[in-house]
């Protein structure tokens, strides 16, 4: 219970990785705001778990972000930790056919969305405060979906800069980069399990795999870790050697 007495806000807390992160932070003793553009989903999380506040927050809208974070501080009296999971990819045409809007939509949600949340949260974070951002392995190597991947890649340098800026105030800032995780985003695509052979550990990830890593980085257990990107990816970043052994 290393986060007892602390308050965390999780964007995207209504579904998937965000929802699992709310549970993981509660298990460490934190009080948690589940902040989501889908208020009904956030409310369902809050109804399920005591110590959770549902907040409507749209990361693509600065005034909504500012109001959502203010609501959390007003309710709990403080904020110690921001976890930014809201994000996602959308169907785009092949690179040469993409519109400027395909690019700016990916940036709005996956990069500027994080910037807006950190900007609003950081004035509240004091000594021992932390920020954990959820990126993607798409930000580490070529996995397709260029606008989404480039936006996620920007997060690595963002957390390094923020870690350097706010470290002297005792605030840590880290990034996790998940591989394929079993959430609703795979529902229309035949499910995630067809990708399992790519993973040296032989399976795709579960939301709790990411949530446990996030909760560790958010907690004082990671008190001397800042500015890092942690792949949470069943080893897929190691490369394809496990698929090629017979041919080597
Ligand atoms: N599922 C995967 O395979 C996978 C892999 C790598 C990275 N990720 C990243 O993990 C994060 C969570 O993805 P997930 O799979 O849990 O998705 P999900 O769709 O299950 O959950 C995303 C949550 O974010 C919320 N959200 C969407 N737009 C929002 C906005 N503008 N403002 C506030 N909330 C918003 C949604 O309502 C939802 O509750 C995303 O950043 C995604 O890019 C997912």
Question: Could you tell me if residue 239 is inside a domain?
Answer: no
Question: Could you tell me if residue 202 is inside a domain?
Answer: no
- CATH of residue 109's domain is 3.40.50.720
Q: How far is CA 66 from the centre of its chain?
A: 18
Question: Residue 174 in 3-state DSSP?
Answer: strand
Residue 231: predicted pLDDT: 98
Among residues 28, 107, 148, 199, the one annotated as catalytic is: 148
Q: How far is the CA of 66 from the centre of ligand 1 (A)?
A: 20
From the list 187, 85, 168, the residue with the least C-alpha distance to 134 is 85
Question: Could you tell me if residue 244 is inside a domain?
Answer: no
The helix (run of H) or strand (run of E) holding residue 116 is helix 113-121
Residue 246: predicted pLDDT: 82
- Give the CA distances from residue 53 to residues 34, 73, 216, in Å, rounded to whole numbers and listed in that order: 6, 11, 21
Low-confidence ranges of the chain (pLDDT < 50): none
Question: Could you tell me if residue 1 is inside a domain?
Answer: no
Give the number of the atom of ligand 1 that is nearest the alpha carbon of residue 38.
37
Q: How far is the CA of 37 from the centre of ligand 1 (A)?
A: 11
Question: Could you tell me if residue 163 is inside a domain?
Answer: yes
Residue 189: predicted pLDDT: 83
Residue 1: predicted pLDDT: 86
Question: Could you tell me if residue 49 is inside a domain?
Answer: yes
Cβ contact 80:128 at 8 Å: yes
CA 166, CA 182: separation in Å to the nearest integer? Answer: 33
What total number of domains does the chain contain? 1
Question: Could you tell me if residue 243 is inside a domain?
Answer: no
Residue 247: predicted pLDDT: 80
Question: Could you tell me if residue 200 is inside a domain?
Answer: no
Residue 81: predicted pLDDT: 98
Structural domain that includes position 42: 7-180+207-233
Task: Please compute, for residue 245, the number of CA atoms within 13 A of its CA located in the half-sphere on the CB side.
Answer: 3
- Give the CA distances from residue 54 to residues 32, 208, 229, in Å, rounded to whole numbers and listed in that order: 9, 20, 29
């Amino acid at each position: 219970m290393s986060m007892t007495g602390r308050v965390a806000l999780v964007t995207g807390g209504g579904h998937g990785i965000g929802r699992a992160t709310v549970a993981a932070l509660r298990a460490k003793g934190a009080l948690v705001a589940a902040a989501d553009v889908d208020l009904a989903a956030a409310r369902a999380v809050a109804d399920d778990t005591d110590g959770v506040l549902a907040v409507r927050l749209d990361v693509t809208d600065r005034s909504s972000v500012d109001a959502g974070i203010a609501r959390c501080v007003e309710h709990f009296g403080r904020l110690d930790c921001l976890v930014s999971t809201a994000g996602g990819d959308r169907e785009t045409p092949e690179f040469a056919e993409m519109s400027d809007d395909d690019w700016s939509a990916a940036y709005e949600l996956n990069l500027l969305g994080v910037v807006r949340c950190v900007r609003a949260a950081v004035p509240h974070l004091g000594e021992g405060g932390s920020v954990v951002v959820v990126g993607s392995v798409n930000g580490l190597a070529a996995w397709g979906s260029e606008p989404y991947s480039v936006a996620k890649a920007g997060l690595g340098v963002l957390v390094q800069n923020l870690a350097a800026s706010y470290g002297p105030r005792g605030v840590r800032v880290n990034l996790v980069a998940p591989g394929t995780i079993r959430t609703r985003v795979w529902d229309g695509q035949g499910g995630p399990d067809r990708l399992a052979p790519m993973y040296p550990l032989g399976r795709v990830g579960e939301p709790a795999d990411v949530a446990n890593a996030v909760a560790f980085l958010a907690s004082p257990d990671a008190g001397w870790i800042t500015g890092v990107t942690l792949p949470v990816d069943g080893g897929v970043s190691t490369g394809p050697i496990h698929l090629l052994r017979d041919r080597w």
